[in-house]
A = this chain, B = another copy of it.
């Protein structure tokens, strides 16, 4: 097999550049062999797919090394693909968009730089995982609770930068970020928000400073490399309530969604709630063969039966409330009252002391209580031990009829391609991220390509209805970006203008989120 190289770079040029890069970080922090690079391929793609593969991996140990690498990449025109942990396997893992990119792994930058218990924040480096931050806070005896996503192995920074969601009060992780340090594509060092002042003492307590705020520019973009970030944390509450509400009938979905919207707009629910169908709950419990042995998508009557057998209804929502007992009780009463309007709805809640910590053992209750785990990792094996998945995640207004309409659209297309309709609805007070998971066997080439094809059809059909994705697999980034087409793609024209100004050599993550630097726009890869 021939050597993987960056586009337009000869083996000799690459070898010379890599020698210089090695000089920056040391031999042991550069990986080049096939075996070593395997970890940086898309783990859930079919074997042999060679589009999204790196030429090397380099792991700097300091911000200065990141700057030096970036400067060298500018000189040698080597595209860099930065990862914090690179654990977002449903969207491509650590794999780069452009074949032959050098992956810059920030896993070695793994320090929790500050914990401020009084003001409720921590400052972390990109290699810090949710589990690391949790462990650090416990070890220090800090009375602070993190918001963790389903899997605790991801980077706190990487997740926020990708607009990721957890389940706590600051579950919109991008919104809970405050103050960044960023290495720009030319190697310059920027601090955002109040951090733009030397010696600022308000860097991580106030998001804005004087003039435009630029932090959001470094999320889901290829405009810079975030090397430090403040993350807001909730003081450990007097008590944590993890509740579920469920409704019995498939057709209850609209009323269910509308009830949740009113509760959220009224601020009766504190964490980010998730709605799941009975099939999605089953998926989290055991592989498919435990529930259904037939061919084709699991039929509706089986799904309904699973719901009844598990006692979770046809639709269920997990939610959380945090605070003094009396406030939590009053909010829970309001939640019960709201659901009482739906016939057959059931609401249950489990209350824990805020500092219960490791005493909470049920994984679905651990996560809203801010305790990271890897429990959900098993669920990828829905179709067998070599399971994989790819996600499709549009954003919809949080309105029952809209969610219903989209669900029918998705179900039709998902089942046409032979998949089960599984996923979860992540709610904000006004919107919902309707995450659809295509679960497949990675050794089944046909099934994997069918999943990608289904995604593409969903992206186009959903855009026709007026809804776009919040995140996408490497394979779909251009197509998703294409859908944001108002005024002859004014947004893409604008972000590419910014890209050219910030990264004139076009070395940082070309193609990420569909943003291509000038050189790639004039000579496309394919």
Interface size on A, residues (CB 8 A): 101
Whether, in the assembled complex, A25 has its beta carbon less than 8 Å from a beta carbon of chain B, the answer is no
Across the interface, A218 reaches (CB within 8 A) one of B189, B212, B463, namely: B212
Interface segment out of the listed A27-35, A428-436, A442-450: A428-436
Q: Which residue of B lies closest to A199 (CB)?
A: B466
Q: Could you mark each residue 189-215 of chain A with 1 if its beta carbon is under 8 Å from any beta carbon of chain B, else 0?
A: 111101111111110111011111111
Inter-chain CA distance A495–B497, complex, in Å, is 14
Name the interface residues of A377-407: CB closer than 8 Å to any CB of B: 395-399, 402
Is there contact, CB below 8 Å, between B188 and A490? yes
From residue A218, how far is it (CB to closest CB) to chain B in Å? 7
Q: In the assembled complex, which residues on chain B have CB atoms less than 8 Å from the CB atom of A211?
A: 220-221, 481, 484, 491, 495, 513-515
Q: Could you mark each residue 142-185 of chain A with 1 if its beta carbon is under 8 Å from any beta carbon of chain B, else 0?
A: 00000000000000000000010000010000100010000010
Is there contact, CB below 8 Å, between A197 and B463? yes
Inter-chain CA distance A4–B402, complex, in Å, is 56
Name the interface residues of A15-62: CB closer than 8 Å to any CB of B: none
Q: Which of A197, A209, A210 has the most CB of B within 10 A?
A: A210
Whether, in the assembled complex, A364 has its beta carbon less than 8 Å from a beta carbon of chain B, the answer is no
Inter-chain CA distance A322–B266, complex, in Å, is 9
Whether, in the assembled complex, A13 has its beta carbon less than 8 Å from a beta carbon of chain B, the answer is no
From residue A65, how far is it (CB to closest CB) to chain B in Å? 17
Q: In the assembled complex, which residues on chain B have CB atoms less than 8 Å from the CB atom of A120?
A: 265, 429-430
Q: Which residue of B lies closest to A270 (CB)?
A: B267
Across the interface, A206 reaches (CB within 8 A) one of B196, B206, B431, B471, namely: B431
Across the interface, A212 reaches (CB within 8 A) one of B169, B268, B495, namely: B495
Q: In the assembled complex, which residues on chain B have CB atoms less than 8 Å from the CB atom of A472?
A: 210
Inter-chain CA distance A330–B199, complex, in Å, is 41
Q: In the assembled complex, which residues on chain B have CB atoms less than 8 Å from the CB atom of A194?
A: 395, 468
Inter-chain CA distance A399–B237, complex, in Å, is 20
Whether, in the assembled complex, A11 has its beta carbon less than 8 Å from a beta carbon of chain B, the answer is no
Whether, in the assembled complex, A508 has its beta carbon less than 8 Å from a beta carbon of chain B, the answer is no
Name the interface residues of A446-474: CB closer than 8 Å to any CB of B: 463, 465-472
From residue A459, how far is it (CB to closest CB) to chain B in Å? 10
Is there contact, CB below 8 Å, between A206 and B323? no
Is there contact, CB below 8 Å, between B480 and A210? yes
Is there contact, CB below 8 Å, between A208 and B468? no
Task: Report A's interface with B, CB cutoff 8 A.
Answer: 118-121, 163, 169, 174, 178, 184, 188-192, 194-202, 204-206, 208-221, 223, 232, 234-235, 237, 261-262, 265-268, 270, 322-324, 326-327, 329-331, 333-334, 395-399, 402, 428-431, 463, 465-472, 480-481, 483-487, 490-491, 493-495, 497-498, 500-502, 513-515
| A/B interface sample: 18 pairs, CB < 8 A | A119-B430, A195-B486, A196-B490, A197-B486, A202-B466, A205-B398, A205-B431, A206-B428, A208-B219, A209-B468, A210-B472, A211-B515, A212-B220, A214-B495, A235-B265, A266-B324, A268-B324, A326-B333
Q: Closest 10 CB pairs between A and B?
A: A501-B501, A201-B466, A196-B491, A212-B221, A205-B430, A206-B431, A196-B484, A213-B216, A211-B513, A326-B330
